[in-house]
Amino acid sequence: MNKKIIVIGAGVIGLHCAYFLNQAGLNVEVVESADECAEDGCSYGNCGLIVPSHFVPLASPAMLHSGIKMLFSSKSPVYLPLGQNIGSMSWFMQFIIASNRKKVNKAIPTLYKLNIESRKLYSELSLQNQNRSNYKHLGLLMAATTEQGLAEEIELAKKAEELGIKTQLLDKSAIKTLEPDIDINVTGALFYKSDGHIRPEAHMQWLKKYLSLNGVVFHYHTKVNKFRHQKGKIIGIETNLGLQKADEFVLAAGSFSAQLAATAELKIPVIAGKGYSFDVPKKCMQLRTPLILTEAKVALTPFNTSVRFGSGMEFNGSIGEIRYRRIQAILDETRKAFPEMPETKANTLKIWEGLRPITPTGLPLVGRTVKYKNLLVATGHAMMGVSLGPITGKIISQLILGEKPDFDMDLLHF
């Protein structure tokens, strides 16, 4: 098939779309505004967790409740700047409407299935790339520091078991057996064997190299300014290097997708949710298994020589404005659970900032647009872009090939 597909955005979503389209024998080009070597985008400094355990969408009654409480603390990871515009206010209204039990219960099986299929694809990809992505299937500890927090995790684990996810309740001594090199001061943890992790930078570099060697053409330093359209079809994209034409277009520009879609009079309800990460040397924290401190909302991923901390949700945040007070709170909360960790000042760390693309339903948007028959959207993966990258790419390639993905696609539409 000689069809030409342009993928806009070389983040973890765009690259997996390019991968599966290339595997299907299509002619693929990727257009990316950043440099080939840039590693500052959202798909690089994240925590790399692959999480079938996270089957509840972000828009849920529990998240709404804890999120609102957190908004009122200057040290919490959740931050909403004052003076939101009308577009953002309408996004928040949609988020509140979506945060109801009925909608959440409907979304859970699909989100779980997407995650589990994606994790399987990661293990296949890691075989193919001789594990250059550093894929590991070590599970995830959801650790609670309070009795109430643990009770909430136990309730969630019951739902997980109903879906077929194996969980294990660990007390302090069982945690010690799993983590013999470090003292962890928590009330207990739920262990999800289902989960895995990668080193995101390594996976992204491998994908870019593999795709280039296998015929995908990359246009770096190429910013898409506008879609050009005519009679219900996208005829091209206007970039700083001129007009580029193709048969089909995949919009995978992460948190920038909404502003680009607006140039084709398309409304995509995606806003940016900024998060932070930083790495501490392994010698300061001898953690073996990825762990999330559930109340503090801090994720810790052990890599070969360091542990990555990830946290923060600043709605409509922008790059360059680091809130050290909130990062210090992340460090202080983590030290309570890991008393052997050396005291660290936030402003001495190398902080990475990433803009997650967030939808008001907490589910990604994956599918063909109704308005333009040759435009597909793959964005809004929020805290699960890495997790869901491969399955998103596979679904996009199936849609372009005219196949029917085995998922409730209505849930992923907008």
Ligand X SMILES: Cc1cc2nc3c(=O)[nH]c(=O)nc-3n(C[C@H](O)[C@H](O)[C@H](O)COP(=O)(O)OP(=O)(O)OC[C@H]3O[C@@H](n4cnc5c(N)ncnc54)[C@H](O)[C@@H]3O)c2cc1C
Binding positions for ligand X, rule: CB under 6 A = 8-14, 31-34, 41-43, 46-49, 223-224, 252-256, 260, 275-277, 299, 310, 354, 356-357, 379, 381-387
Instruction: Classify residue 37 by burial, with Cβ atoms within 10 Å: 0-12, 13-18, 19+.
Output: exposed
CA angle centred on 94, ends 90 and 95, rounded to 5°? 115
Separation in Å, CA 340 to CA 151, 277, 330, 335: 26, 20, 16, 8
Interatomic CA distance for residues 289 and 346, integer angstroms: 24
The answer to whether 386 and 7 have CB atoms below 8 angstroms apart is: no
Minimum CB separation of residue 63 from ligand X in Å reads 16
Of 187 and 386, which CB lies nearer to ligand X in the complex structure? 386
233 forms beta bridges with 230
Strand runs labelled E in 49-138 = 49-50, 78-79
Minimum CB separation of residue 317 from ligand X in Å reads 10
Of 356 and 368, which CB lies nearer to ligand X in the complex structure? 356
Residue corresponding to tokens 């069809």: 3
Minimum CB separation of residue 362 from ligand X in Å reads 12
Minimum CB separation of residue 51 from ligand X in Å reads 6
Of 174 and 319, which CB lies nearer to ligand X in the complex structure? 319
Of 174 and 262, which CB lies nearer to ligand X in the complex structure? 262
Interatomic CA distance for residues 48 and 277, integer angstroms: 11
The answer to whether 53 and 195 have CB atoms below 8 angstroms apart is: yes
Minimum CB separation of residue 172 from ligand X in Å reads 25
User: In a 3-state reduction of DSSP, which class is residue 172?
Assistant: helix
Minimum CB separation of residue 11 from ligand X in Å reads 2
Q: Which two tokens stand for residue 17?
A: 């779309």
Of 221 and 371, which CB lies nearer to ligand X in the complex structure? 221
Of 46 and 187, which CB lies nearer to ligand X in the complex structure? 46
